[in-house]
Structure 1
């Protein structure tokens, strides 16, 4: 088994257990949250094939773990002991800081992400790519527009992190735009 395979299996098992404890599902669905995590990891695997000097083993672990601090009772220390400081720092940067006012959370997260290696930037783009699906039925047009605006900010701030994912994100934003225009349909 390669380092990538072993790292993937260790991280997905860890993340799946943590999110399952919360009975976490993909928002607006009955799909287990681990599907979202594996979709983010798939974006990373595809980006790695198109990117030179990309540490896919590190990036895949970060992709699979990116929401455990934000959405579960997992601690920074637990990630650090299990996966190392580099992974723990990346997952922390990808997590919203609850001490930051809501309007500043995305800018704060992007600032912290940009201080880390490009693999972390790639995970943030991959996460938003996979989240730009049909929005949950309960979202308002305003929420959808805000989510699109955040995606545009991510695309602008992180575009130099990975050309493949920057292009994928730009394409997804265009596709997602139809949901934010529902209020101007005839």
Structure 2
């Protein structure tokens, strides 16, 4: 029988915690519980990223919206999980005042260009799931602009480049569907 991995407990704890924190929230444009989104993002991270820190990355992916969308604090995350998980979730949390100042598109381009390597993997996984889930034409156009910008502005790891390519393909599929439907 294999020895239990403490990291498995952290991922399960994150799933239970995020489910509790997002209770009552639904995904925009669907009637699905919001928790389905962070779970999907965590699966995408696990699919594309290889790292000795994968349990922390999957945990942060599950928790990526709790600071932004719930009453959870950074201190809560750091105490319950690890400083790395809390730092990644903090890094993935949007600054509403800065978005209001510069606009969401410019904010995301700048933020994603300066993110840590781990943070960018999670953010790209988040974008891939968002673009695959009933995106608007504006979201598709903005996503393509963001990806083109970060591909020029920073060196991408293999995992990040694969995610970027998958995002571009998903945008193309959305544009094709909307062109044939309307």
Query: Above 0.5 in TM-score?
Result: yes
TM-score, length-scaled by structure 2: 0.80
Change in CA separation of 1:116 and 1:96 when aligned onto 2, cut-off 3 Å:
closer
CA contact (8 A) 2:45 2:57 kept: yes
Change in CA separation of 1:91 and 1:134 when aligned onto 2, cut-off 3 Å:
closer
Q: How many pairs are equivalent?
A: 172
- 2 CA distance for matches of 1:113 and 1:39? 20
Of 158-167 and 70-79, the range deviating more from structure 2: 158-167
| 2:18 aligned residue | 15
| 1:139 aligned residue | none
SS class of match (1:100): helix
SS class of match (2:22): helix
Q: Does 1:148 align with 2:148?
A: no
- 1 CA distance for matches of 2:109 and 2:52? 20
User: Post-superposition, which runs of at least 4 consecutive aligned residues in structure 1 deviate over 4 A?
Assistant: 179-183
Of 32-41 and 111-120, the range deviating more from structure 2: 111-120
CA contact (8 A) 1:113 1:121 kept: yes
| 1:123 aligned residue | 122
Q: Does 1:176 align with 2:177?
A: no
Give 1:27-176 correspondences, 5 Å limit: 27-48=28-49, 51=50, 53=51, 55-102=53-100, 103-135=102-134, 144-159=136-151, 160-161=156-157, 162-176=160-174
CA contact (8 A) 1:44 1:63 kept: yes
- For residue 125 of structure 1, report the CA deviation from its aligned partner: 0.8
- 1 CA distance for matches of 2:149 and 2:83? 25
Instruction: Kindly report the root-mean-square deviation, in angstroms, between the aligned alpha carbons of the 2 structures.
Output: 2.5
